[in-house]
Amino acid sequence: MTAVAANPGQGRWWRNRAVRRFANHRLALLGFTMISLLTITCFIGPYFLPHDPLYIDLSVRFTPPLVDGYYFGTDPLGRDIAARLLMAGSVSLLVAFSAMLMSIMLGTLVGLIAGYRGGWVGAVLMRTVDGFLAFPSIFLLLALAAALKPTPMMVTIIIAITGWMEVARIVEAEVRSLREREFVQAGRMLGLSGAHIMFREILPNAMGPIIVAATLTVARAILLEAYISFLGYGIQPPLPSWGNMLGGAQQYLASAPWLAIIPGLAITIAVTSFNFVGDGLRDALDVRDDRL
């Protein structure tokens, strides 16, 4: 349509528009609020709780929630579940975020080079990506976790290694279409180096999909961490994580169901929130959609 023109001098409209669209996405906004609350309580909350997450008091084992100042009750060793949940949350979120950062960086780098260079360089890189994708990621994850010493750092790296391929594919596709745009040709005409064109000209334009992928990767990383910790190959007790709290609750499912329900809910809330935010960002950053 020829008649619709953007208002000149209105500031950075794409920002405003993206923000406005995100704000109109109710679930995304809900997810965003939940994540913020979750993060703040996980990292600041422990200072306001009366009990230490690692303090064992066998006299109060299996206290149900909301009794004696134990908001979420206690576990088989009499530790405060509320305190443990928040500490576990900070561990899980930290692991998930670090894993996301690593896989985004690796995936973006590979995708950018493969997409921009194309040819055999691109082919080699993308076939490597396919190779990684060919491994069933859960088995790879478990095999690696079983073979390596399961420190939080190792868990993070393992999760990152199984998660960067999707990002690489998304970035590669995006860069391949951006590469043909005239402003990139103009960059070549100006005699800019390949690295400069890739990182300074193309990358900022590919940020939308990368941000969306990042959000969804966090959700995936939280799940994977819970997965391997639940099976006992991830974060090792006494350091709590949502996954190993769930794992420890298995045998008491009938007698003390809150042991499983509470960390289970925490995982569900975190993962759905990140997914909602991811969906909202995808809609908000998608320029092809011309709804206003």
Part of the chain binding other proteins (CB under 8 A), chosen from 25-33, 181-189, 261-269, 274-282: 181-189
CA distance 218 to 215: 5
Using rule CB under 8 A, residue 255 touches other proteins: no
What six digits make up the tokens of 157? 């790296």
Interface pick for other proteins out of 27, 94, 143, 192 (rule CB under 8 A): 192
Interface pick for other proteins out of 24, 177, 205, 250 (rule CB under 8 A): 205
Measure CA 111 to chain center.
19
Using rule CB under 8 A, residue 120 touches other proteins: no
Using rule CB under 8 A, residue 183 touches other proteins: yes
Alpha helix (H) ranges present in 118-206?
Answer: 119-134, 137-147, 152-179, 182-189, 194-196
Task: Give the nearest distance from C-beta 178 to other proteins in angstroms.
Answer: 10
CA distance 249 to 109: 41
Using rule CB under 8 A, residue 5 touches other proteins: yes
Task: Give the nearest distance from C-beta 19 to other proteins in angstroms.
Answer: 13
Using rule CB under 8 A, residue 134 touches other proteins: no
Task: Give the nearest distance from C-beta 106 to other proteins in angstroms.
Answer: 23
CA distance to 122, 165, 178, 209, 210, per residue, from 169 (Å): 11, 6, 14, 11, 11
Using rule CB under 8 A, residue 254 touches other proteins: no
Using rule CB under 8 A, residue 182 touches other proteins: yes
Using rule CB under 8 A, residue 123 touches other proteins: no
- DSSP 8-state assignment for residue 202: I
CA distance 277 to 42: 19
Using rule CB under 8 A, residue 181 touches other proteins: yes
238 preceded by cis ω (within 30°)? yes
Q: Could you give phi then psi for residue 74, rounded to 5 degrees? A: -125, 165
Task: Give the nearest distance from C-beta 120 to other proteins in angstroms.
Answer: 14
Using rule CB under 8 A, residue 211 touches other proteins: no
Using rule CB under 8 A, residue 6 touches other proteins: yes
Residue 63, Cβ neighbours under 10 Å: how many?
21
By CB atoms closer than 10 A (0-12, 13-18, 19+), residue 236 is middle
Interface pick for other proteins out of 120, 191, 254, 255 (rule CB under 8 A): 191
Residue ranges binding other proteins (CB under 8 A): 1-10, 12-14, 181-183, 185-193, 196, 200-201, 204-205, 290-292
